[in-house]
Amino acid sequence: MITARPVSILRDNYAWLLEEEAGGARAVVDPAEADPVAEAIDAAGGRLDLILLTHHHADHTGGTDALRARYGARVAGAAFDRERLPALDLPLADGDTVPFGGAEGRVIATPGHTLGHLCYHFPAGTLLLSGDTLFSLGCGRLFEGTAEQMFASLRRLAALPADTQVCCGHEYTEANARFALIEEPDNAALRAYAAEVAALRARGLPSVPSRLATELAANPFLRVADAAAFAARRARKDRF
């Protein structure tokens, strides 16, 4: 069994601390800041085996080298982007597996936000570390890829089991809900989820992880018929 918990960093980012319960292996995903992540690691026992990077942006990688030096963790990320990432011990590509304690994760290439973006699926914990590809009620901006690429990437993630926990890289859900409700004002599942998120945020709690079943029912970017419709919706969100 693998568990995940968010570590709040920067202004609205999350690093994710993963633990494989049987052997106590520990990983962190997208540690943009070293100090708050190290504090969480030390509070959990001071062990870090693996650093997983979803993409090359500094707000996902900035603390990598400091954490590697402190804990001796290996760093995994996209071979495609090895020149734009911290030095990789495990260069990865679509379909690769990542050993993690007694479990393993599957690498899913999701170009769109960046060309080398990777997501990590851990069936043992029903976890998807989705970086900036899939947000709760949203998706990443198309900084490098095309709408066709992002649509295809989201389709791959949408095909995962419905009970998958979506662990994304930012606390954007409330803002995403405002746009989603304009796009689909009559979506009852969306209205209910938006109210749930508002209550969580009012209490200072994270809105994530969400469940993929919820995203399929409420996320407007998973509810478009084709790449053209996705491109139009993404363009409206960019202007929102």
- The pLDDT of residue 80: 97
170 is catalytic: yes
pLDDT, tens digit (0-9, with 9 covering 90-100), for 85-119? 999 999 999 999 999 998 999 999 999 999 999 99
Largest CA distance in the chain: 51
Query: Chain centroid to CA 234: how far?
Result: 18
Q: What is the pLDDT of residue 119?
A: 98
Flag whether pLDDT at 125 surpasses 90.
Answer: no
Domain extent at residue 189: 2-239
Q: Does the active-site annotation cover 121?
A: no
Check: CB of residue 233 under 8 Å from CB of residue 224.
yes
Give me the catalytic one of 56, 57, 117, 121: 57
Catalytic residue among 55, 56, 117, 121: 55
Q: What is the pLDDT of residue 185?
A: 97
What was the pLDDT predicted at 142?
A: 98
56 is an active site residue: no
Concerning whether 117 is annotated as a catalytic residue, the answer is no
Average pLDDT value for the chain: 97
87, 75 in Cβ contact below 8 A?
A: yes
Q: Which of 216, 138, 144 is nearest to 181 (CA)?
A: 138
Choosing from 56, 60, 117, 121, which is the catalytic residue?
Answer: 60
pLDDT at residue number 23: 84
Contact 223, 214 (CB under 8 A): no
Tens digit of each residue's pLDDT (9 = 90 or more) over 152-181: 999 999 999 999 999 999 999 999 999 999
CATH number at residue 126: 3.60.15.10
pLDDT at 133 over 90: yes
Q: Which residues have a Cβ under 8 Å from the Cβ of 30 and sit 6 or more positions away?
A: 13, 14, 15, 16, 52, 53, 54, 60, 61, 129, 131, 169
pLDDT tens for each residue of 54-88: 999 999 999 999 999 999 999 999 999 999 999 99
Q: Indicate the number of domains in the chain.
A: 1
